[in-house]
Structure 1
Amino acid sequence: MNEPQSKSALTRRRLLTASAGAAAAIGAAGLPVLQTGAPALGDKKLTVEPLIPHQNRGIILYSVRDRIAAAPDESGVPYGFERVLSRLAEVGYKEIEFAGYNQHTSILGRQITPAEIRKILDDNGLVANGTHTQINPATFQQQLDIAEELGMKHIGTGSDPTGSAYQSDWDAAADVWNELGRQAKERGIKLYTHNHDIAYSFLLDAGPLDANGKPTRSSGVRRLEYFFAKTDPKYVFFEMDIYWAHVAKFKHKTYTNSAGQVKTDIFDPILTVARRTKRFPLFHAKDGDKAPEQANGYVMTPLGEGDINFQQFFEVIGEQDYHHANWEQDTAPGGTANPGQSMNFAALSYTNMSDLTIYR
């Protein structure tokens, strides 16, 4: 397969200066800031280290779902878990986040089992760092069994705990998640939820009420930030999708308070994580080109090919060894016209993830 070349210029000068704006914001918030300016070295030696440690570089298989689900074909592109995971390991990925456990039944004449997937992981030196599955009390123990079989330390979902705009529904969701998180912790696993932009929109939690007695205005509290406070930090964790967080910054800027006044509040993905960085063990490193004419304000691209500053993001939030970055691009599959596109984008994105470095 011919792999596309990166158009991003991750120059050493760019890497040194990328964090200046966020560093100022973090400092103003009274949070610790890594030093990113040109140092007065004296007798000290300046060293460069990976910003995302190689063992923490991952991919969610949703990005290559077309090749996981593909039947054997003549394209020469890997298909099914065994071939796709082998190729991802060759590229350099060390961690896998799952988005289902099925492949095309024609590969084995039946469905693959979690035990067989675990062997493929082990044979390729890969670690399962999480999954997007259904978080449901009725099936949660079964999902924990699969997570243990695959060696996961995290279990999660690609959906919000609730799609509601109302505080009472988030309260109820917090009760469920606190209990399920406790069950997961008993088995050495962290429960997490993944966000889309709507999770960072504003609660409807202020009057006047509508005909059903529901609030129609907001106090200015964002849905998921309310959930942060209602859930136990020992039991409930988060996976920020960095792309969707930037979409939230673009889309969810204003709310109407109880007096009917329109208020502006700009969402900041970096500050949201930096204030509670240990509650975010996982991230979706998903990039996008700015497109203010589009409803979301961005169009997805391979990692490092868009306008989102991952250097700034990961450097300022700190705790590099704790955080796991999973590349995702919803639009990576190329269909029948370009069956190799998602795997090529995976390789390009890994290269750009590896180019993120920090100077000490």
Structure 2
Amino acid sequence: MAADPQYRAQVTRRRLLAASAGAAAVLGAAGLPVLQTNGPARADGKWRVDPLIPAQNRGIILYSVRDRISAAPDDSGVPYGFERVLASLAEMGYKEIEFAGYNQHTSILGRQITPTEIRKILDDNGLVANGTHTSIRADTFQQQLDIAEELGMKNIGTGSDPTNSAYQSDWDAAADLWNELGRQAKERKMRLYTHNHDVAYSFLLDSGPLDANGKPTRSSGVRRLEYFFAKTDPKYVFFECDIYWAYVARHKHTKYINSAGQEKTSLFDPILNVARRTKRFPLFHAKDGNRNTALPNGYEMIPLGEGDINFQQFFQTIGESDFHHANWEMDTAPGGAANPGQSLDFARLSYANMADLTIYNKD
């Protein structure tokens, strides 16, 4: 993947700063701010250019570089393990880390690293832990809060949905559990969050004829996670929007069968989904994709700023830039034995493109 600065600047201006007319019309009709593609024409000091994502809120989930976190010492010259990889990420400019496990190769220390040792590496590199993808269960939640507290986290979460079910009753039960666990997290000065994949925005089965097991077979048109928004207490339950998977949901989950057996179309808008409740989203996965309707998901993952998702419009419209924290993620970043440095190269390119996102403000 080329990382030439001139090439990168051309790509980010073309793909990150161009808002589609269709999206602008939808946002305007909803009473939300519409991205202006032309900057201020004058340079009289009345305008300034600010970063759209503040430097201190630019992060990475370590899943993107999991190959190098878990690597044994080798002669590739590529960093491995927490100490070397986190130092490399800090050098790139990242300020925040979202964890995807707390283990590295035992040959590095002759044993497994401890959360206390990881915290020292964070501190030594000026990094802050902004969250984690861990297992959220009632029987182990306090132990997970202990680890999160040791690492200095303000947020604790999971990469899985609160339930994999399509049925309203299961989401009701999940909401009851998450309200309680969220209350426990708040007592420890943390926020509990869940992270979406595309299926979270598929349609709830909540109406129509029942099947042989007494389960509903049709939908009122409510999406699973949107139902969960309403059933959970905003003081206790928060969300991490994976922007890539939200756009996949827009591509995949467009139709449902209503209680009368009629097929209905309902388009999902990732920007409006967040903008209506922007303070419930402290974290985001800034994951990019090339549009490719020949693929089942409609997109192919690619480093941030090199794809077709309009992050400029997304982050500018949802506002609250000081509240929101963006973690770069690319599930397919590792290059394997053929290119062991690929995930870190992509991390460097993605950070530079994230830093290029800017907004005009009046003084």
Same fold by TM-score greater than 0.5? yes
1:200-258 Cα deviation digits (max 9, x unpaired): 00001111111111111100000000000000000000000000000000000000101
SS in 2 for 1:299: strand
The aligned length equals: 359
Q: In 2, Cα distance between the equivalents of 1:296 and 1:190?
A: 30
User: Offset at 1:359?
Assistant: 1.1
Tell me by how many angstroms 1:16 deviates.
Answer: 5.9
Q: Which residue of 2 aligns with 1:263?
A: 264
Shift in Å, 1:4: 3.1
Deviation at 1:83, TM superposition (A): 0.0
Which amino acid counterpart does residue 349 of structure 2 have in structure 1? L
Counterpart Cα distance in 2 of 1:33 and 1:289 = 23
5 Å-filtered alignment, 1:1-360, equals: 4-5=3-4, 7-8=7-8, 9=10, 17-18=18-19, 21-31=22-32, 45-360=46-361
Give, as a single letter, the amino acid of the residue that structure 1 aligns with 2:129: A
Letter in 2 for 1:189: M
Distance (whole Å) between structure 1 residues aligned to residue 300 and residue 172 of structure 2: 33
Closer/same/farther in 2, CA of residues 249 and 47 from structure 1, 3 Å limit? same
Give the C-alpha shift of residue 348 in structure 1: 0.5
| Distance across 1 between alignment mates of 2:16 and 2:345 | 25
The TM-score with structure 1 as length reference comes to: 0.95
Greater shift, 291-300 or 21-30, is seen at 21-30
Deviates more, 1:27-36 or 1:344-353: 27-36
CA 1:225–1:210 in structure 2 vs 1: closer, same or farther (change >3 Å)? same
Q: Are the structure 2 counterparts of residues 341 and 14 from structure 1 closer, same or farther at C-alpha, using a change threshold of 3 Å?
A: closer
Q: Distance in 2 between matches of 1:312 and 1:31?
A: 11
CA RMSD of aligned residues (A): 1.9
- Equivalent residue letter for 1:149: E
Partner SS state of residue 47, structure 1: strand
Q: Say if 2:246 and 2:270, in contact at 8 Å, map to a contact too.
A: yes
Q: Whole-Å Cα distance in 2 between the matches of residues 15 and 145 of structure 1?
A: 39
| Conservation of the 8 A alpha-carbon contact between 2:11 and 2:306 | no
Q: 1:43 to 1:237 in 2, by over 3 A?
A: same
Distance 1:13 1:3, change over 3 A: closer
When residues 186 and 302 of structure 1 are mapped into structure 2, their CA distance, relative to the original with a 3 A threshold, is same
8 A contact 1:217–1:257 mirrored in 2: yes
Structure 2 stretches of 5 or more lacking a match? none
TM superposition shift of 1:18? 3.0
Letter of the 2:359 partner, please give it.
Answer: I
CA shift for structure 1 position 29? 1.4
Q: What letter is aligned with 2:273? A: T
User: What is the distance in 2 between the residues matched to 1:311 and 1:141?
Assistant: 38
Instruction: Check conservation: 2:32, 2:317, Cα contact below 8 A.
Output: no
* Segment drifting more, 24-33 vs 71-80: 24-33
For 2:269 and 2:322, how far apart are their aligned partners in 1? 23
Cα distance change of structure 1 residues 103 and 307 upon mapping to structure 2, 3 Å threshold: same
The one-letter code matched in structure 2 to 1:236 is V
* Paired AA for residue 338 in structure 2: A
Structure 1, unmatched stretches of 5+, are none
2:205/2:219 contact within 8 Å kept: yes
In structure 1, C-alpha distance between the alignment counterparts of 2:123 and 2:108, rounded to whole Å: 20
Q: Check 1:14–1:343 CA distance in 2 against 1; reply closer, same or farther (3 A cut).
A: closer
Whether the 8 Å contact between 1:22 and 1:316 is mirrored in structure 2 is no
User: How far off is 1:316 after superposition?
Assistant: 0.6
* 1:213 match: secondary structure: coil
**8 Å contact kept, 1:3–1:344:** no
Distance 1:17 1:197, change over 3 A: closer
Measured against aligned partners, the alpha-carbon deviations of 1:59-86 in whole angstroms (never above 9, x if no partner) come to: 0000000000000000000000000000
Q: What is the CA–CA distance in structure 2 between the aligned matches of 1:288 and 1:258, rounded to whole Å? A: 35
Q: Deviations over 1:156-196 (max 9, x none)?
A: 00000000000000000000000000000011100000000
Change (3 A) 1:226 1:297: same
In 2, Cα distance between equivalents of 1:15 and 1:221: 31
Maintained 8 Å contact 1:199/1:222: yes
Residue deviations 1:317-341 (CA, integer Å, cap 9, x gap): 1111110000000000001111000
What is the one-letter code of the residue matched to 1:116? E
Q: C-alpha separation between the residues in 2 aligned to 1:11 and 1:268?
A: 23
Provide the C-alpha distance between the structure 2 equivalents of 1:76 and 1:51, rounded to a whole number of angstroms: 34
User: Counterpart of 1:231 in structure 2: which amino acid?
Assistant: T
TM-score (norm 2): 0.94
Distance 1:165 1:13 in 2: 39
Residue 38 of structure 1 and its aligned partner are, at CA, apart by: 5.1
